[in-house]
């Protein structure tokens, strides 16, 4: 989606064309073997917080994360929780005109949440999937993405690498986008493509994912492959995706990608049914820190 320092990507800057149907080879074949290595099912019987052995919080930096975003990230249960009904929910809530947050965050109009597995859990290769219902209210920018683990240990972006498994924006409710960022191909020069879903993605739950192998990443929507990346696609730059990455989920509001928020939108919800990670023919590893 966007690394902490810089990311201002517009749809017109995506280097690959939007796909209406699958235009790359499907990642699964009859001979492919998948093994579940890790999952989050969010089946807590009571509403509550996240597992601190897996999830940490990115709290707001007060500067829109380099993208002119308008949310203030918190670790409050009002913004992120397991709902007791089988889902993780991230909820953006519009601030009142008298909220104390406005005293030190002059661009903020919502509270929201951004969670990560950095320094707790990492992954290398394999199939990463999430079944989610994403909001399409004006100004919403939900994302399920990954950053290179080196970033959490003193590395820099975009050298660390970034894989945006999915990001959407409310002004294009049918559009699903997958993107990679690395040295020489970041922000507006990122390598990515889109898939036009038959209906707005807020109409129901869909499965977003990648099949990630050495020197190849295939992006999928409901099991349909729509875009792939190999070293040949990064325009002669360094391919940085053969290393450990960690997960991020967040719901941003506004910014250079999502556009203006609508004052009529008081809340917006990103609902995650599950996250599942599989090896592919033995390729795939979970790192526990």
CATH of span 11-288? 2.60.120.200
Q: What is the pLDDT of residue 122?
A: 98
Q: Is the per-residue pLDDT at 61 higher than 60?
A: yes
* Contact (CB, 8 A) for 110 and 78: no
**For 207-217, how does the pLDDT look when each residue is reduced to its tens digit (9 = 90+)?**
999 999 999 99
Q: What is the pLDDT of residue 9?
A: 43
The whole-angstrom separation of Cα 145 and Cα 248 is: 5
Of these residues, 162, 244, 256, 260, which one is catalytic?
Answer: 162
The dihedral through the CA atoms of 86, 92, 94, 98 has a sign that is positive
To the query of whether residue 71 is one of the catalytic residues in this protein, the response is: no
Q: What is the pLDDT of residue 151?
A: 95
Phi-psi region of 174 (alpha: psi -120 to 50; beta: other; left: phi over 0): alpha
Q: Is the per-residue pLDDT at 22 higher than 70?
A: no
Query: How many percent of the chain have pLDDT more than 90?
Result: 83
* Contact (CB, 8 A) for 55 and 69: no
Residues constituting the chain: 289
The mean pLDDT value for 38-64 works out to 90
Q: Is the per-residue pLDDT at 275 higher than 90?
A: yes
The whole-angstrom separation of Cα 164 and Cα 143 is: 7
The mean pLDDT value for 239-266 works out to 95
Of 175, 239, 176, give the one whose Cα is nearest residue 213. Answer: 239
Q: Among 55-69, 105-119, 161-175, 275-289, which stretch is predicted with the lowest mean pLDDT?
A: 55-69
Element holding 229 (H helix, E strand): strand 224-229
**For 87-135, how does the pLDDT look when each residue is reduced to its tens digit (9 = 90+)?**
999 999 999 999 999 998 888 999 999 999 999 999 999 999 999 999 9
pLDDT band at 23 (very low <50, low <70, confident <90, very high): very low
Count CA atoms within 13 Å of residue 191 on its CB side. 28
**For 164-185, how does the pLDDT look when each residue is reduced to its tens digit (9 = 90+)?**
999 999 999 999 999 999 999 9
Q: Is the per-residue pLDDT at 7 higher than 80?
A: no
Q: What is the pLDDT of residue 5?
A: 39
Q: What is the pLDDT of residue 64?
A: 62
pLDDT band at 1 (very low <50, low <70, confident <90, very high): low
How does 86-104 read in b/e, with b if 16+ C-beta sit within 10 Å? ebbbbbbbbbeeeeebeee
Residue ranges of alpha helices (H) inside the chain are 255-258
Using a 10 angstrom Cβ sphere, with 0-12 exposed, 13-18 middle and 19 or more buried, the burial of residue 52 is: exposed
Q: Is the per-residue pLDDT at 31 higher than 60?
A: yes
Query: How many percent of the chain have pLDDT more than 70?
Result: 88
The whole-angstrom separation of Cα 114 and Cα 66 is: 15
Of these residues, 69, 71, 167, 244, which one is catalytic?
Answer: 167
pTM value? 0.91
The whole-angstrom separation of Cα 13 and Cα 286 is: 33
To the query of whether residue 167 is one of the catalytic residues in this protein, the response is: yes
Q: What is the pLDDT of residue 75?
A: 97
The whole-angstrom separation of Cα 111 and Cα 251 is: 10
């Amino acid at each position: 989606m966007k690394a902490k320092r810089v990311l201002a990507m517009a749809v017109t800057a995506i280097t690959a064309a939007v796909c209406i149907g699958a235009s790359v080879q499907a990642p699964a074949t009859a001979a492919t073997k998948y093994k579940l290595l890790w999952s989050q099912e969010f089946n807590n019987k009571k509403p509550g917080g996240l597992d601190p052995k897996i999830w940490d919080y990115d709290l707001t930096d007060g500067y829109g994360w380099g993208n002119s975003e308008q949310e203030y990230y918190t670790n409050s249960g009002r913004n992120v929780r397991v709902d007791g009904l089988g889902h993780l929910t991230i909820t953006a809530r519009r601030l009142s005109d008298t909220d104390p947050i406005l005293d030190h965050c002059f661009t903020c109009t919502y509270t929201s949440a951004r969670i990560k597995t950095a320094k707790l859990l990492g992954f290398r290769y394999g199939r990463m999937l999430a079944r989610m219902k994403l909001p399409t209210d004006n100004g919403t920018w939900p994302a399920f993405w990954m950053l290179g683990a080196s970033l959490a240990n003193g590395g820099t972006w975009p050298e660390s690498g970034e894989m945006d498994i999915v990001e959407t924006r409310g002004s294009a409710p049918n559009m699903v986008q997958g993107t990679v960022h690395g040295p020489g191909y970041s922000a507006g020069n990122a390598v990515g493509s889109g898939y036009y879903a038959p209906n707005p993605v807020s109409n129901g739950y869909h499965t977003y994912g990648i099949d990630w192998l050495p020197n190849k990443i295939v992006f999928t929507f409901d099991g349909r492959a729509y875009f792939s990346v190999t070293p040949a696609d990064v325009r002669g730059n360094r391919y940085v995706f053969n290393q450990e990455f960690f997960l991020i989920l967040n719901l941003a509001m506004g910014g250079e990608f999502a556009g203006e928020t609508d004052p009529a939108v008081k809340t917006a919800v990103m609902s995650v049914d599950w996250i599942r990670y599989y090896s592919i023919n033995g390729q795939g590893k979970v790192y526990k820190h």
